[in-house]
Every structure is written in structure tokens, then in C-alpha cells.
Structure 1
Amino acid sequence: MVTDAATFAGGPLARLKAGGRLAGGVAEAARLLGRVRPRAVIGFGGYPSAPAMTAAVLRRIPTLIHDSNAILGRTNRLLAPFVDLTALGLPAPAGTGAGAKTRARLVGNPVRDAVAARARAPYTPPAPDAPIELLVFGGSQGARIFGEVVPAAIAALPEGLRRRLR
């Protein structure tokens, strides 16, 4: 499905143009959904899912959104009151966008067997002088952590420990 999914960043003119592109994307998605006639439409968040999910809601096609984060992303938060089911990857705190019509269910996140097996493995501390591998990851709402929190935390480590980080 190719539909325009616009972000609403920028000034008033840019936002107006984005609204027009989004409306065009919803119209295109509605036409395609009318031809394909799916039994349900599932969205995983992000601006690209907005036109198809909005069109499905308007056409009264059963809808489900899935969010793998602890806090719903902007698109899912806006769609949540209108879709039939919100599948949550993590327990959601209060006020994360589940509207009155929305039924939210904690379903977890799909994880590959190799990743799950590694998570179950016992912790083996590194040797005293061995390198330490540090993996930091986050979603769109966690991006601030990369520029602010992680560098400050690393800077606060003792010099000997910082030198071992890879």
C-alpha cells in the first residue's frame, strides 16, 4: 500500500500541507481497502500507518494497533480511542492513550528464540581487565537518552571502567 504519511513538523503552512497530504493518503487507503476488502487492518504505529488505519476506522473494518513500547507513540495514541483493540507489548501506565472505546490487551512483544535463550542465560561478569560491551537502544520516545542521559552516565564512571567500554 502506498499512501502519503506526513509529519506535522514546521510552521503553520507546513502543517497545513501535511494535513492535506494525510487526507490524500487516507482517501487513497480507503479506495484500496474498498477494493481489497480485508477482514481486519493491523497497524504497528508510526506515521506510515496513520492513513491506512484511519481509513479502516472510517470504513468500519475491524482494527488493531500494536505498540511495543511502554508509552504509546503519537500515532497509536491518536488512533487508540477509535480502533477496536490495542495490543500492548509492555504494561502501559495510566494516561497513555487508551480511549473509552479501546480495549487494551497486554500481549507482549515477539522475540526470536535466540534472543529469548540469551536472556535466560546466567550472567557471567567480565574478567577484571576484559573489555565491557555496552549496548544502548531505545525507541523514538527514548531517543533523548542517547544525547543526554547515556553520555552523562558514562562520564560519571571511573576512568578505568570507561577505558574498558566497547
Structure 2
Amino acid sequence: MTKQKSIILAAGGTGGHLFPAIALGEELIERGYVVHLITDLRCQKYLTSDLRLITHIIDFKPDAKSLLKKIKSVTGMMLATIKALSIIIKSNAAVIIGFGGYPSFPPMLSGILARIPLVIHEQNCFMGKTNAILARFAKIVALSYKETKNVNHYQDKIVITGDIIRNHIRNIPTKNNFNNVPFRILVIGGSQGARIFSTLIPETITILLAQHPNITLHVTQQVPKEDYSSVNLLYASLGISYQLSDFFHNIAELYSNSELIIARAGASTIAELTTIGLPAIFIPFPHAAENHQFYNAQAVQDQKAGWCFEQHSVTPIQIANKIFELINDRSILTSTSRNLLKRKNKGHKILADTVEKIITD
């Protein structure tokens, strides 16, 4: 009896790489495939008990700060590649899909060595280093954004999938009411958090309330543990309704109960907000590889589907003024939501169809 072929997903480092992999895995499992996920320790916290993917942890983190660390990195990559190759052979893999980030490199390299078809998926408006290296070996280069930079050499391989979203996010009803009181703001920093928000946003809210004391707000904010006490003290002194946590596991519920998001501009965050039609003020992480978060946010702003403020120049007064504008004229939120929803598609199905075609050809 011939062993059933499986599909390997390689993603790690951040939720931005992992969540689209999980979304594709959910769709492929629904289609009857056995799906393996290779990820790293940093993404282990996202692997919930109801996840139906067969998961493997291979931790690999390159470090080129010294000669010794470079040697250790090369050795670590070789060991990670051997482990991944073992998984690929034992699972009888038919195709491997990599979602970027250096943890995906050893499994994808193993696929090259084993002569297994590769697909890469780039979530951002600028292709990251790992995907850029692997693109020449890939059968398909799948993109969330048609505006993605630095892909000119691979035009014959490109498939535009749009955003790839997990089931529980896709099932959230689209936003159709922005007139709630209090006005509810959700502040999130992505899977890695954002310490600057611990000062920038409380200062913004302080200015907003000083200028417009009759505004009623509820702020839900992701706050690193080391900043919790200071942020908590400040919001308590303002007398507003608020909720703080270093990480929110009920993000779907929070999306449903918010009128406005303030966030970094990671691909997964933008993708999820696009699916719901939930407007956001984006403050891209300035040190993201190739400044890809700025390009992500700029693409959304160009479509009048959100607002982009760069961290190096943004001030609390600017954000306070923007929030007041939106509170004072909720029709802006409504039109922005509609523009977001114009970007919405079924990327998980498009990419799953592409993978199936490779397997059956």
C-alpha cells in the first residue's frame, strides 16, 4: 500500500509568518490532506490545543555577531536541515510551502536537497531575505500584495493570492456600526509587542481628553509586562474605562468590540483588519526588514483604507487630532471600512488551489 503524501508548511519567528501558514493548513486539511507544520520555539505559544496540523519544533536562530557565533549558526543550520529532512522523508512530502523568516530556511533547503517542489508565500509589500533567496528555487512565488517590491525576476512564477486568514478571524462579522458610545480603541503591537506604544498612546489619550473632556472612551491596550504599572497608573488617573494585557488570546472578540485599531503594520494584522473591515491607524515598526511594514501601511493608505504615521515623526498631538476627527465624523470610519473590504478575497482558497495543482500535475 502506497503511503499517503503529505504537505509541509514552514513558518516561524513571528505570528506574521505563522498565521497565514495555519490558515492554509486549515484549508488543506478540510480538503483531506495530511499537513505538517515546522516552526520554532518563538511560535510555540500560538500552537493551540485545537490545531489539527501535525507540528514539529526545530529551533534555528542565526547570529553573525562574532566568528564563533557564525560557526555555531552554520552548525545549527546544518542540524536543523537534517532534522527537517528527516521529517520530510518520513512524512512522504509532496510539496513544501515556506512563509518567510529564517526559521523556514532549513525546511526549504531540505526540500531542495530532496527535490521536492517548493512554494513560497510573501505576506508583505517587500519580499524578505529568506524568500528572496529561495524564490529562484520555487515553483510558485505567491504574493499577498500585487504591489510587492523586488519580485521582477520572478514574473513567470507569481500568483497573487491576497491575504490568507485563519478560520476564526474570517468568521467574525464585518463591521457595520461605528456609532457606539463609548468609542472603543484597541491598541496592539503585533506578536512581538511595541514598547513605544506604552508612552505614545497614553500621552495621546491624555491630550485628547484634555482638549475634548466630553469624549467617552474605552481603551484596550497590549502592554509589555515591564510597562504595565506605569500605563495602568496613568489610565487610572484619567478616569477612563480601560483593559491592559501583555497578550490577548481573545483577539477575535476584541476586534468585534472595537471602532478603531492602533497597531503596527505587520502583514497578518492588516490582513485580519481587511477581512473584518476594521479601520486602523498604523505606526509601522521602523526596523522591520527592508522597512516592509511601512510599504504595507502605505499600500493601505493609498487605497484610503487606513492611515499611516511613521514612528520617527509622529506625535501624540497628531494621533489625538486624528482620533477626534474620527469620533466627530463616524462616516470617515464607514467609508474607510468599505475601502478595506474592497481588498478582501479568499486567499486561503487561491493558494490551496495552487498547491493542489502542483500535487496533481
Interval of TM-score (by shorter of Structure 1 and Structure 2): 0.7 to 0.9
Aligned position for 2:160:
106
Aligned position for 1:161:
321
Which has a greater percent of strand? 2
The alpha-carbon deviation at position 99 of structure 1 amounts to 4.7
Aligned position for 1:83:
138
Aligned position for 2:263:
136
Superposition RMSD on alpha carbons, in Å? 3.5
The alpha-carbon deviation at position 38 of structure 1 amounts to 1.0
Q: Whole-Å Cα distance in 2 between the matches of residues 15 and 92 of structure 1? A: 35
Q: Whole-Å Cα distance in 1 between the matches of residues 67 and 265 of structure 2? A: 30
1:9-56 CA distance string (max 9 Å, x none): 412321221111111111221122122211111121112211111101
Q: Whole-Å Cα distance in 2 between the matches of residues 42 and 35 of structure 1? A: 17
What are the within-5 Å matches in structure 2 for residues 20-99 of structure 1? 20-96=75-151, 99=153
1:43-73 CA distance string (max 9 Å, x none): 2111221111110122111111112111122
After the TM superposition, which parts of structure 1 deviate over 6 Å for at least 4 consecutive aligned residues?
A: none
Q: Whole-Å Cα distance in 2 between the matches of residues 27 and 102 of structure 1? A: 31
Which has a greater percent of helix? 2
Unmatched tracts of structure 1, length 5 or more: none
Contact 2:58 2:84 in 1 (8 A): yes
Question: Which amino acid counterpart does residue 170 of structure 2 have in structure 1?
Answer: D
Give the TM-score taking structure 1 as reference length: 0.73
The alpha-carbon deviation at position 83 of structure 1 amounts to 1.4
1:120-155 CA distance string (max 9 Å, x none): x4776x987454855122239x52179x92363234
Contact 1:4 1:22 in 2 (8 A): no
Q: How many residues align?
A: 158
Q: Whole-Å Cα distance in 1 between the matches of residues 312 and 172 of structure 2? A: 26
Counterpart secondary structure, 1:66: strand
Q: Whole-Å Cα distance in 1 between the matches of residues 136 and 75 of structure 2? A: 23
Give the TM-score taking structure 2 as reference length: 0.37
Unmatched tracts of structure 2, length 5 or more: 1-55, 184-211, 218-258, 268-283, 289-308, 325-361
Aligned position for 1:150:
311
Identity %: 20
Contact 2:135 2:154 in 1 (8 A): no
Aligned position for 1:14:
69
Question: Which amino acid counterpart does residue 73 of structure 1 have in structure 2?
Answer: G
Structure 1 residues 55, 101: closer, same or farther in 2, change over 3 A?
A: farther
Structure 1 residues 16, 54: closer, same or farther in 2, change over 3 A?
A: same
